Amino acid sequence: MSHPSQPPSPPGFSALSAAAEPPVIADLMQRALANPHLLSLAAGFTDNALLPGPAIAESVAALSSQEEPPAFLQYGSNAGRPRLRELILRWVGSFPGERLERFDPASVLVTNGSQQALYLAAQTLCDPGDIVLVESPSYFVFLELLRGLGLRAVPLPVDPTGALQPEAIRARLAELSARGLRARVKACYLMGYHANPSARSLSLDEKNTLPALLREAGLVIPVIEDGAYRDLCFEAPHAVPSVLSLTAWEGFPRLYLGTFTKPLATGLKVGYGICDSPEWRARLLTAKGHQDFGTSHFNQAIVEHLLAHGRYQPHLDAIRPAYAAKARRLDSALRAGGLEDAGWRWSFPEGGLLLWLEGPPDLATGPDSAFCARCLEAGVLYVPGSLCFVDREPDHFVRLSFGAIAADRIDEAASRFCGVARSFG
Amino acid sequence: MSHPSQPPSPPGFSALSAAAEPPVIADLMQRALANPHLLSLAAGFTDNALLPGPAIAESVAALSSQEEPPAFLQYGSNAGRPRLRELILRWVGSFPGERLERFDPASVLVTNGSQQALYLAAQTLCDPGDIVLVESPSYFVFLELLRGLGLRAVPLPVDPTGALQPEAIRARLAELSARGLRARVKACYLMGYHANPSARSLSLDEKNTLPALLREAGLVIPVIEDGAYRDLCFEAPHAVPSVLSLTAWEGFPRLYLGTFTKPLATGLKVGYGICDSPEWRARLLTAKGHQDFGTSHFNQAIVEHLLAHGRYQPHLDAIRPAYAAKARRLDSALRAGGLEDAGWRWSFPEGGLLLWLEGPPDLATGPDSAFCARCLEAGVLYVPGSLCFVDREPDHFVRLSFGAIAADRIDEAASRFCGVARSFG
């Protein structure tokens, strides 16, 4: 036995692992630690004060008293608890315009947050070098995972309001064909509801036009719709149904993702997918079987208990106005801080945890920018918008989250941000 | 909106996903459903009656009353809770012969069971076509995940008692070199404690000799030691320390895996890795960041609470004799059932949840064998030993688990198994 003080030489790594970049955001978080008084408008966390502590403790107590022996603490199946999958279908089916009668619980798989479902989806569909169509901007962790798997993201062009732009999309798809890349386009990834980072929801028109353009380009490819923020609307749910219920997407293999992570408790990590292709779902499950052969059964039992006993909707009824109030407070504080006069523009969202700000076109806001450094000095952290674009361009957007920050710190954080923005104005 | 009754055409799948076999065991389980009176000696589940329901309910209640707001329900970090990682180091360091002073919590990562750590380890080290050295037999889900990643397992030869056989290993490694495959050998996977399926633990001599053989062959490659069953010893812990503490492995990048899944609660899915290579650990974390960016923080908080309040050891003190008694009961029932006279041999283990039986050499026990079919008819399910061998050979072994089955059903299950075995004797 010994205590070598030197670690071993690093092993040889797989080509993908050797090429994988560590998350850019991790480096930013690390730099942020230098300022202990920092206020973060960056973290994708939710508000600790809005987490359902009592409901979950009561649910565990109820499960413990009802199930003896405590089978909810045992392994479950790889696909997830059957009753939970049934309740998930019923939940998603309750949104406006959804018609999920053709699905049964065998169409559903429970995952470690919707993040794992995204990973499984990319992994089952794509070989290194393949292409996934994404919105612009798109979810930056998804862009990172695509790079980690050696895949290429190709953005779907949008207009200045962020809406999908049919003519430009048609041209982009034609260009892929002309370059001989059509056969490499393996999937299309959309966030239909209060997207990360844009906070936009897709309109019915956008959602119906895109599949027509894809079909026209010979791309009847799998579509992944990520509804991670759907339950976090401020008032009424967004009126447009998911791709699962839209005729325009008929014939496209469809995977709709949702989660209880953001809206219920980020610490539980229970997400789900609903898939209309039995072959795809089987392959998602085979890959999941290798990764963990099933999401924590205990956490599934808790979510199932809350859904089955009608406790999820009241929780949402409580937190939706609270997040709406935080969004308004951040929006007002930014306006009061003179951000518009400094050349910034943004829309007020209908839900989610984010504001997506466009700065003056000549302002760089990336991780290495002077603006970013000054914000860190001033004690406020944001997510550089460039991370959410495939080519890290444009570089004058900023994602602000009102999720984690305490409501009474929002004014101060906004004031710091506006102070820096004005000084660059 | 419409309700198409036909699912879409299946998408094109990635090469690996298209080639991946669904788990053999899933098919067996499916066939088993035909007999509702079936007793399963196959499942890797633990005993519901030995799950710590009250301890976990109390832990959740305590966390809820102590933490307001309930930050334990919030996201944590990708690597896991710092205090839990400290307690994990202390726990593993408490086993006989361990010298972990050089490690700090930054060496530890928390995973979704040790299964996820196995997946990340293989993924970060190996490209398709690469080779991982494994014991023979080895953990069949690991063999499946290697195939799922397009990797090849090469078995380390053992003697008739199951012990690593130095001369045969030397010859096998020389053969790999001679075939030009040395550079493709990327890792070595060992189960040092009450292994699945053999129930053997590695001796100090085996554990010290193997690295010398590898070094001699020019293979100073990463070693993954999987200690999933280590905490489930029947009496005293196995006296041999992990590879982390053995001088013979100095210079080899080492990843030791453990879990609270099997010994505490399979429904919680909290496992861990301790890695002495900072570069490897960074890449494991990058890959994990893409897959789920952190194991359920809630479950980590529960395990941390139990460890910190000294409730884990008393739990083990309670369940170890219970599993030992189940093992003895199964062992006795098999002997009473005349299994030895029918030509079967096995050793009584020092821990774990499994008995590993060698049948008569000319008896096939695989999933498609007459023996397997007759056992299903008789109402008893086992894991065919062939699944645990790289080339599905030899085919006359059987893995029996006494983990999940109720103690008072063991005699009946053994009697059914012995009845079939005698009829083939």
Query: Pairing between strand B397-401 and B383-384?
Result: antiparallel
Helix axes B312-336, B297-308, angle to 10 degrees: 90
- Looking at residue B34, what is its pLDDT? 79
Q: How many CB pairs under 8 A join A and B?
A: 321
Report the alpha-carbon distance of residue B291 to residue B116 in Å, rounded.
Answer: 10
Give the pLDDT confidence of B212-223 residue by residue, as tens digits: 999 999 999 999
Band of pLDDT at residue B22, cut at 50, 70 and 90: confident
Whether residue B292 and residue A46 make contact (CB cut-off 8 A), yes or no, is no
Say yes or no for a CB contact (<8 Å) between B277 and A76.
no
Q: What is the H or E stretch that residue A39 is in? A: strand A39-40
Residue A384's φ and ψ, nearest 5 degrees, are -60, 130
Tell me phi and psi for residue B359, to 5 degrees: -85, 180
Coil/strand/helix, residue A420 = helix
Sign of the C-alpha dihedral computed for residues B331, B334, B339 and B341 taken in this order: positive
Does B127 contact A15 at a Cβ distance shorter than 8 Å? yes
- Whether B267 and B223 have beta carbons less than 8 Å apart is answered as no
Work out the pLDDT band at A5, boundaries 50, 70, 90: low
pLDDT at A23: 79
Q: Rounded distance, CA A144 to CA A150, Å? A: 10
Q: What share of chain A is helix, strand, coil (3-state, %, to 5)?
A: 45, 15, 40
- Residue at token pair 């459903």: B33
A272 contacts chain B (CB < 8 A): no
* Helical residues (DSSP H) of A217-311, grouped into ranges: 278-291, 297-308
Is any Cβ of chain B less than 8 angstroms from the Cβ of A97?
Answer: yes
Q: Which residues of A touch B245 (CB under 8 A)?
A: 1
Interface test with A, best of B182, B296, B297, B315 (most A CBs within 10 A): B296
Q: Which of A145, A186, A268 has the CB atom closest to B298's CB atom?
A: A268
3-state secondary structure of A223: strand
Cβ pair A164, A155 in contact under 8 A: no
Q: Give me the mean pLDDT over the B112-124 stretch.
A: 98
Cα B148 versus chain centre, distance: 17
Running DSSP on this structure, what letter comes out for residue A134? E
Burial of B424 (C-beta count, 10 Å sphere; 0-12/13-18/19+): middle
Cβ-contact A149, A16 below 8 angstroms:
yes
Q: A40 forms bridges with which residues in the sheet?
A: A381
Give contacts of A241 with chain B, Cβ < 8 Å. 1
A366 HSE (CA, 13 A, CB side):
15
At A262 the pLDDT is 96
Residues 339-398 of B with CB under 8 A from A: none
Residues in Cβ contact with B65 at an 8 Å cutoff, skipping those fewer than 6 apart: none
- Separation of alpha carbons B299 and B301, rounded Å: 5
Tokens of A44: 């994708």
| B17 interface with A at CB cutoff 8 Å | yes
Question: Using 50, 70 and 90 to split pLDDT, how confident is the model at A261?
Answer: very high
Q: Which of A287, A144, A14 is nearest to B283 (CA)?
A: A14
Facing residue for B148 by CB, picked from A51, A253, A287: A287
Q: How many Cβ atoms are within 10 Å of A289's Cβ, its own excluded?
A: 22
* A 199-258 near B (Cβ less than 8 A): 220-222, 241, 245-247, 250-254
The closest of B415, B399, B396, B416 to B343, measured between CA atoms, is B396
Burial of B60 from C-beta contacts in 10 A (0-12 / 13-18 / 19+): buried
How far apart, in whole angstroms, are the C-alpha atoms of residue B354 and residue B383? Answer: 11
Q: Give the number of other Cβ atoms within 10 Å of residue A78's Cβ.
A: 19
In sequence order, what are the residues at sequence separation of 6 or more whose Cβ sits closer than 8 angstroms to the Cβ of residue A215?
none
Enumerate residues 296 to 315 of chain A having a beta carbon within 8 A of any beta carbon in chain B: 296-299, 301
Nearest CB to B101 within list A3, A7, A9: A3
Residue B126, min C-alpha distance to chain A (Å): 5
For residue B409, count other CB atoms closer than 10 A to its CB: 12
Q: Which of A260, A349, A348 is CA-nearest to residue A46?
A: A260
Q: Quick one: CA dihedral A262, A20, B120, B276, positive or negative? A: negative
Helices (H) and strands (E) in chain A, counts: 13, 12
Say yes or no for a CB contact (<8 Å) between B11 and A51.
no
Higher pLDDT, A213 or B32: A213
> Contacts of residue A187 in chain B, CB cutoff 8 Å?
11
Three-class secondary structure assignment of B265-282 = CCCCCEEEEEECCHHHHH
In angstroms, the separation between the Cα of residue A263 and the nearest Cα of chain B is 11
Listed in order, strand segments (DSSP E) in B1-81 are 39-40
Query: What residues in B contact A46, CB-CB < 8 Å?
Result: 74-75
Does this model's pTM top 0.95?
yes
pLDDT of residue B338: 98
Task: Check CB contact of A9 with chain B, cutoff 8 Å.
Answer: yes
Identify the residue among A63, A73, A151 best suited for mutation to test binding to B, counting B beta carbons within 10 A and taking the highest. A73
Shortest Cα–Cα distance, B279 to chain A (Å): 6
Answer whether B14 touches A (CB < 8 Å): yes
Round to whole Å and give the CA distance between A291 and A313: 32
Which pairs with CB-CB distance under 8 Å and at least 24 residues apart come from B128-132? B128/B16, B129/B184, B130/A14, B130/B184, B130/B185, B130/B186, B131/B176, B131/B181, B131/B184, B131/B185, B131/B186, B132/B185, B132/B186, B132/B187, B132/B188, B132/B189
Q: Which of B172, B175, B140, B178 is nearest to B156 (CA)?
A: B172
**DSSP SS3 for B264:** coil
Instruction: Please report the pLDDT score of residue A1 as a whole number.
Output: 43
User: What is the separation, in whole angstroms, between the first and last Cα of chain B?
Assistant: 63
Q: What angle do CA A71, A73, A77 make, to 5 degrees?
A: 75
Q: Are B351 and B238 in contact (CB under 8 A)?
A: yes
Q: B36-49, pLDDT tens digit by residue?
A: 899 999 988 999 99
How would residue B146 be classed by pLDDT, with cut points 50, 70 and 90?
very high
For residue A402, pLDDT over 70 is answered with yes
Q: Which of A2, A14, A188, A243 to mutate to test the interface with B (most CBs of B within 10 A)?
A: A14
- How is residue A121 annotated by DSSP? H
pLDDT reported for residue B50: 97
* pLDDT score of A64 more than 80: yes
pLDDT of residue B5: 57
Element spanning A257, H or E: strand A254-259
CB contact under 8 A, A74 and B51: yes
Rounded mean pLDDT, A103-109:
98
User: From residue B99, how far is each of A318, B53, B409 by CA, in Å?
Assistant: 51, 33, 42
Rounded to the nearest angstrom, the minimum Cα separation between B122 and chain A is 9
Q: Which residues contact B181 (CB under 8 A, 6 or more apart)?
A: B131
CA B207 → CA A114, A315, B175, B176, distances in Å?
Answer: 41, 54, 22, 21
pLDDT reading at A6 higher than 80 = no
CB-CB neighbors (< 8 A) of A68 in chain B: 53
Query: Of B130, B273, B214, which Cα lies nearest the Cα of A15?
Result: B130
The two structure tokens encoding residue A286: 């085979």
In DSSP terms, B40 is beta-bridged to B381
pLDDT score at B30: 78
Q: Rounded CA gap, B189 and B23, in Å?
A: 20
Whether residue B279 and residue A72 make contact (CB cut-off 8 A), yes or no, is: no
Is beta strand A185-190 parallel, antiparallel or unpaired with respect to A223-226?
parallel
Q: Give the pLDDT score at A235.
A: 96
CA angle (B277 as vertex; A289, B273 as ends), nearest 5: 35
Of A76, A125, A301, nearest to B11 by CB-CB distance is A125
How near does any CA of chain A get to the CA of B425, in Å? 36
| Residue of B74, B148, B266 with shortest CB distance to A267 | B74
Question: Is residue A322 less than 8 Å (CB to CB) from chain B?
Answer: no
pLDDT band at A2 (very low <50, low <70, confident <90, very high): very low
Residue B1 has pLDDT above 50, yes or no: no
Question: Could you report the per-residue pLDDT of B229-282, keeping only the tens digit for each?
Answer: 999 999 999 999 999 999 999 999 999 999 999 999 999 999 999 999 999 999
Best probe of the A interface among B139, B269, B270, by most A CBs < 10 A, is B269
Q: B113 with B261: CB under 8 angstroms?
A: yes
ipTM for the predicted complex: 0.96
Work out the minimum CA distance from A361 to partner chain B, whole angstroms: 31
Contact A267 B73 (CB under 8 A): yes
When scoring A291, A303, A305, A353 by the number of chain B Cβ atoms within 10 A, the one with the most, hence best to mutate, is A291
Q: Which two tokens stand for residue B208?
A: 């010290």
Tens digit of each residue's pLDDT (9 = 90 or more) over A151-203: 999 999 999 999 999 999 999 999 999 999 999 999 999 999 999 999 999 99
> How does residue B26 score in pLDDT terms, banded at 50, 70 and 90?
confident
Percent of chain B having pLDDT more than 70?
99
